[in-house]
Chains A and B, each alone.
Chain A
Amino acid sequence: MTLADSQTTVLTRTTAVAPTRGLVEITAVHKSFGSLHVLRGVSLTVEPGSVTAILGPSGSGKSTLLRTINHLEKVDAGYVAIDGSLVGYRKRGNSLHELREKDILKQRTGIGMVFQNFNLFGHLTALENVVEAPVVAQGKTKAEARRRGLELLERVGLGDKAGAYPRQLSGGQQQRVAIARALALDPKILLFDEPTSALDPELVNEVLDVIRELATSGTTLVIVTHEMGFARDVADTVVFMDQGQIVESGTPAEIFANPREERTRGFLSKIIEPAFNI
């Protein structure tokens, strides 16, 4: 997508009807790892096409919450639904039937995920990384997937790196390939798990710029991040988590300028003050 394209999408987003795909409803979700209670009754609704940033100290359950959305983590109690259908289960009468692997994989093709450590397939080139899932999971033809893959690499600014292996790319470039890989399935929801935490400071912006552009594309974005400035600029909703619970959520203006809760205030003061003033 060029700059001109992104402007037209901004236009359509504000003028045309709101996106209808990509509603995430998380209801009273609990999750424990052994004796560690990581999520304690989390409920959150993410509107279609919106951008939600999840903030919080490490160990607060942000990443786990994100991973319940595409069923990489199975919830112990509560449920997650996408566009009204349950993630990982099927409702039949009064009981919930666990989905088979095949159906879970199908659900996941609608949800892209970008990891902190990129997790690019090291033995495949950038293009092969992007092409793999559309061919295998969506049954696209190789030619079609390649064409679309090159288009996506172009869009994240790596059109000339299609034949490069991940280890021949910088961290920022790897993460952009990973974003292209997630986009290749045309997901309605994109999950970002601390996408810039493993990057050198000077490489952070090239990745954030790509995400910023996606924010206007009508895809629902859920971003776990430590980049406060980015969250403030891009997110529609900011969610603050601590100790497995959502402490508060609201617009960036509300959360950053006027946090209601003491815990939020404490966290933000520790992180933001040296960086910029609000």
Chain B
Amino acid sequence: MIAAYLVLLIPLIGIVYFTLAGHKTDTGKLNIKFNGICLLATIWLAVNVLNQGRIISSNEAFLIDPFNVYLIVLTAFVGFTTSIFSSPYMAHEKEIGKLSDQRLKLYYSMFQGFMLAMYLVLTTNNMGIMWVAMEGATLATVLLVSLYRTPESIEAAWKYFILCGVGIAQALFGTILLYYAAVQIGDGENALLWSVLYENADKLNPEILEIAFVFLLIGYGTKIGLVPLHNWLPDAHSEGPTPMSAVLSGLLLNDALYAVVRNKMLVDGATGSNMAGFLMMGFGLLSFLVAAILLHRQKDIKRLFSYSSIEHMGLMTFAFGIGGPLATFAALLHMTVHSLTKSAIFVTVGHAAQLAGTQKIDQIRGLIKTQPRIGWGLLIGTIAIAGFPPFGVFTSEFLVLLATMHSYPWLAPLLLLDIGIAFAGLFRHIQPMVYGIPPKDQQAIKANLWPVIIHLALVLWLGLAIPDFLANWFSQATLLISGSTPL
């Protein structure tokens, strides 16, 4: 359990330290160290869970089980590699005069603040605290979206703040209804603990929980970026600094989905029907369809990939909605591979945008000629996210498709068509950016592509063979969520 406290304590120290010490030349490196130590702590935590199974703290405030432990490690890992990318990236932004020391101080302390909120969402056992931490993540990132203080970035941040704030208020109403159902079966102060609720799920009033789930899905769904609540997402991703886009896409969306699934487990237990699943399927499929079509109309490279995030989150929500063991397993795997791939892509996109000096797709040309590593990184990343074998995204999408064919065969052609549309939407933009003729004075820049290489290698590995311990966690989590194992 010490490991879990350590995971929360390190970012907290980070916030305090960065706020008090101000920005120095080595702050970026220090940020890497903080995230690195945190990654080690999460690995320690994971080893504990591997040896002992589910861990619950003595006051029942924290709960680590196979469902959240891999997300915790993933969060720490993506946080670590993004901080490696962000250090030279932000230094470059300062060199070209886009940011001051004051803003960088804000950036680094809020980076740690965001990580703290993410760890708290994942580790807490209390549904109320989960909401508080989720809102905390919005509050930590909202000033980072407007970090450049351009009119566009302020508009994006305002939209993000209002939409996510109002959206997540719905989730609080859902949580209150959940609590209302829980106090009816007794136990006031502990009634919001997930472990207690899960054990007594069949006693909770199903009608109230159904209403509660609608609010919870709308609330956390705003954060997942489900259509039609997705409006803030492309704006926030495109106007904020790129490392922020990487963690928003890779971590925040995942954690919001995690919150929905935790709640779905309770609702399923109470209602005994798949009502929650149907809602998730509907929203998921709609997001998947709309985002894939909108991919074709984008002119900004970061907006392009944020729509791709909406599309993939839609697919995951859909898969969790189907709810069988196969679909759940696929969704868990997809959460992992999407998060790794998408953060790798945003890192490459950040370099590409610095190289070309713009985020406009039709002005980024010939990456592979000017700087082959960036060009190849973008190309391979896109191939991976579009779902080509042998990458992990292919495996998970294939499993989702299999599960769909098994449960709802009439939806399978729609999914296939949509994957095709999304593929075309990505490649019509990526192809000229990578292969086109570079502008005359385009110079190579200093770029650290190690995070990209490591992420994509991991995705490749997951596509070829899932390591035993991970497969074991996925099956245990599947057992927890869907009630039976896929293997």
Question: Are A and B bound to each other?
Answer: no
Residues of chain A touching chain B, judged by Cβ–Cβ distance below 8 Å, are none
Q: Hey, which bits of chain B sit against chain A, CB under 8 A?
A: none
